[in-house]
Structures are given as C-alpha cells and as structure tokens.
C-alpha cells in the first residue's frame, strides 16, 4: 500500500472513531525513517488505546500490519509504526507539551542561510 493511501485510511478511521484535531505532517526529506506523521488527540487514555486498536484492526483488514506499537493501557501517548506513516495519538495536554507539529514543520534556517551565501 502506498504511503498516501495509508495516510487516507488512518485519518478516515481516526475521524470515524472521534479522534480530535487530526493533522498530517509531511516529513519527506526531513526524516530518514518515515514519510508522514499523523498526529491526533484522544479524550482519555482509554480513548487513545481504543483509537490505536481500531486503526490497527482496519489496517489488518487491508493486509497492512503495524511494525510496532508503543504505549500502554494507561498511556497518554501511543505511537503506531506503520513504516511510511507514524501515528501519534495523545491527550491534549501531552500534545501541547511536546508540540510535534511545530517540531517537524520548522524549516532549517541554517541550511537556508548556506544556500543564500552560495547564491552570492
């Protein structure tokens, strides 16, 4: 399954299961281990675990098996590694604290400065 199809399937399942604030971050060229990160908020630790289970089951029905799942029953953050897509499901408080969207969408200003110097 292509990464774009995987992202669509994951986001659709999260939306169907009432995940909040679903964001897809394209990290192609910024990361060597994945192409996309999908970040979503769950309302409680139980909701987060259920969301990760529902996504995993939906993918298994399509023949895609997670490479790994990190985070336990009472965890405020569950990570599902799907290879080309990494899914992060967190509580609102944990998401605000780590700000993964901000971390992965910041442009590397040092590289931009070097490019500008080369153009001169």
Count of structural domains, the chain: 1
Tell me, what CATH number does 64's domain have? 3.30.460.10
Residues 104/111, Cβ–Cβ less than 8 Å: no
Residues 70/20, Cβ–Cβ less than 8 Å: no
Is the pTM for the entire model greater than 0.85? no
* pLDDT tops 70 at residue 114: no
pLDDT in tens, 71-109: 877 889 999 999 999 999 999 999 999 888 887 776 654
Classify residue 63 as left (phi > 0), alpha (psi -120 to 50) or beta: left
Is the model more confident about 93 or about 112? 93
pLDDT in tens, 15-69: 999 999 999 988 887 778 888 999 999 999 999 999 999 999 999 999 999 998 9
Is the model more confident about 78 or about 119? 78
Residues whose CB falls within 8 Å of the CB of residue 80, separated by 6 or more in sequence, listed in order: 52, 55, 56, 66, 68, 69, 86, 87, 89
Domain of residue 40 covers 3-119
- For residue 23, the 8-state DSSP code is E
Residues 33/46, Cβ–Cβ less than 8 Å: no
Burial class (CB in 10 A: 0-12, 13-18, 19+), 84: middle
Q: Report the C-alpha gap between 78 and 80 in whole angstroms.
A: 7
* pLDDT tops 50 at residue 115: no
Is the model more confident about 1 or about 19? 19
3-state secondary structure of 30: coil
* pLDDT tops 70 at residue 113: no
């Amino acid at each position: 399954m292509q990464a774009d199809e995987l992202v669509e399937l994951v986001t659709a399942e999260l939306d169907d299961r009432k995940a909040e604030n679903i964001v897809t971050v394209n990290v192609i060229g910024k990361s060597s281990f994945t192409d996309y990160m999908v970040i979503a908020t769950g309302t409680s630790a139980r909701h987060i675990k259920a969301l990760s289970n529902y996504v995993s089951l939906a993918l298994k029905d399509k023949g895609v098996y997670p490479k790994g799942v990190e985070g336990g029953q009472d965890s405020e953050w569950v990570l599902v590694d799907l290879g080309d897509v990494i899914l992060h499901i967190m509580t609102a408080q944990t998401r605000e604290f780590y700000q993964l969207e901000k971390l992965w969408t910041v442009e590397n200003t040092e590289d931009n400065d070097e490019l500008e110097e080369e153009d001169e």
